[in-house]
Amino acid sequence: MTLLTHLVYALAYLIAGISAGAALWALRPEADPLVSWMAGALVVLAGALVHDVVTRLERERKAARRIARLSDRVEELAHLLEQRLASDPGAQPDGVRYDAVMQEVKLLQSLVARLTERRAPRPPAPSSDPGGSRRPAAMPSPAPQPAPPPAAPMDDAAVLEAVRDALKADRIDVYLQPIVSLPQRKHRFYEVFSRVRSADGQQIMPDRYLDIAEREGLIATIDNLQLVRCVQLIRETERRQHAIGFFANISAATLADAEFMRQFLNMMAQNHALVPKLVFELSQHDLRAGGAVTMGILSQLARLGFRFSMDQVTDLAIDVDRLLRHEFRCIKLDRALVLDPANAERIRDLRRRCAADGIDLIVEKIETENQLVEVLDTGFDFGQGYLFGEPRLSRKPD
């Protein structure tokens, strides 16, 4: 509904309220005029309430139609990609592949520029959890990390402006943290994190900008840029013949971005050999909250060869069968959750079941040698944390 339409409705309610008040006053001139005008105000409020309910129902119907179209489109894209891979596995020269990725990056940057030009910055609503994060596991606790240089604190409006400016200027930096095999401590994977860099060089950590970016509809764009950069990193390791994989967070907003998913699948069709080295990571909350469309998209990605990991586990009552159906091959567990004596029996059961079904368990936030000894006593095969390496800035492809 357009702004003009809303203004027309508002004017109609106002006229109806004035008319109701005037009519009541005319019928009972001896009554208090304030009562008449209060009755008119009630008419205005009632009309506005009915209008709001009707508008919300219409928005829900439109959203349902968009979700249905998105599901159909993802199904169609998956079939198209499978046909392309069957007819031509994507054996193109490396230069062509690299150019294709760079075109994707430039396209994303142009989309971001149009987005930021179209939407003027506005102060976001205060967060109910100012220190929280949609993905708290993305950044381990910074015990061994040297403190950053002091900087003036930024309010939410300043953080939002910095994020938008960083998107336009390509200052979303990608950091890598190793995931190691135990007890050898050999690097097996890297997890990919993103950090925003402001114009003056100040780093804005995920726990500061994620909630704000999500509220403002920018989280999918950040994830998209990170995902494209991740593919470039995988290609670089292929060129250097390093056998290592990458974990990348993917949000519900990114899965619902039909245009980006189309471009991403087309890009991966030209680089199908890279698919097994990219593991998409989703939180336990997102998996439980995801509806049929989200799970359908995951199924389509799994059919193309992608694998998944679940992180931010807070409840050990895990539906392993459901994870297996959707090709989840890793589960990340917080060290504190693993070492809590109250969870000992559930942890043993989960380890036994996952070992039988081929799901790797990764203990994260291991920061000291003593913590590592305790984790090794429980028999886990993979670990992550500052003890094995803090997140470090990745080099951008030339």
Is 344 a member of any domain? yes
Distance of CA 164 to the CA centre of its chain: 17
What pLDDT was estimated at residue 188? Answer: 94
What pLDDT was estimated at residue 169? Answer: 84
What pLDDT was estimated at residue 314? Answer: 95
Is 225 a member of any domain? yes
The pair phi, psi for residue 169, each rounded to 5°, is: -95, 5
Name the domain boundary from 87, 105, 136.
87
Pairing of strands 307-311, 278-283: parallel
Find the CATH number of the domain harbouring 336.
Answer: 3.20.20.450
Is 337 a member of any domain? yes
Q: What distance, in Å, lies between the first and last C-alpha atoms of the chain? A: 47
Q: Look up residue 297 and give its amino acid.
A: I
* Beta-ladder partners of 328: 308
Is 379 a member of any domain? yes
Are 75 and 103 in a shared domain? no
For 326, how many CA atoms within 13 A lie in the half-sphere containing its CB?
A: 23
Is 65 a member of any domain? yes
Are 252 and 359 in a shared domain? yes
| Distance set, CA 362 to CA 79, 105, 196, 337 (Å) | 33, 31, 27, 12
Question: Over the chain (398 residues), what is each successive 10-residue block's mean pLDDT?
Answer: 60 70 67 66 70 68 57 52 50 47 50 46 39 40 45 81 87 92 94 90 88 86 83 81 85 77 77 88 88 80 91 95 93 96 95 95 96 92 95 74
23's tokens: 């009519």
Are 13 and 122 in a shared domain? no
The pair phi, psi for residue 299, each rounded to 5°, is: -65, -40
Name the domain boundary from 52, 87, 122.
87
Do the Cβ atoms of 325 and 298 come closer than 8 Å?
Answer: no
CB under 8 Å to 195, separation ≥6 — which residues?
172, 173, 175, 203, 204, 205, 206
Are 78 and 140 in a shared domain? no
Q: Where do the H-state alpha helices sit in 88-193?
A: 94-118, 156-169
The Cα angle at residue 105 between residues 99 and 106, in degrees rounded to 5: 90
Are 23 and 152 in a shared domain? no
Is 282 a member of any domain? yes
Longest C-alpha distance within the chain, in Å? 93
In the DSSP assignment, the letter for residue 275 is: G
292's tokens: 């049929």
- Which residues constitute the domain of residue 112? 94-393
305's tokens: 């060869």
Are 141 and 70 in a shared domain? no
Please count the structural domains in the chain: 2
Is 398 a member of any domain? no
Are 59 and 32 in a shared domain? yes
CB under 8 Å to 43, separation ≥6 — which residues?
13, 16, 17, 20, 21
What pLDDT was estimated at residue 138? Answer: 40
Measured CA to CA, the distance from residue 261 to residue 280 in angstroms comes to 13
Are 264 and 326 in a shared domain? yes
Measured CA to CA, the distance from residue 104 to residue 97 in angstroms comes to 11
Measured CA to CA, the distance from residue 222 to residue 170 in angstroms comes to 10
Are 235 and 355 in a shared domain? yes
Measured CA to CA, the distance from residue 222 to residue 194 in angstroms comes to 8
Name the domain boundary from 29, 61, 87.
87
Are 75 and 5 in a shared domain? yes
Are 235 and 370 in a shared domain? yes
Q: Is 57 helix (H, G, I), strand (E, B) or coil?
A: helix
| Distance set, CA 398 to CA 39, 98, 102 (Å) | 71, 10, 10
Is 1 a member of any domain? yes
Measured CA to CA, the distance from residue 250 to residue 234 in angstroms comes to 16
In the DSSP assignment, the letter for residue 181 is: E
Are 62 and 106 in a shared domain? no
Q: Is 183 helix (H, G, I), strand (E, B) or coil?
A: coil
| Distance set, CA 355 to CA 185, 255, 276, 309, 359 (Å) | 20, 29, 20, 15, 6
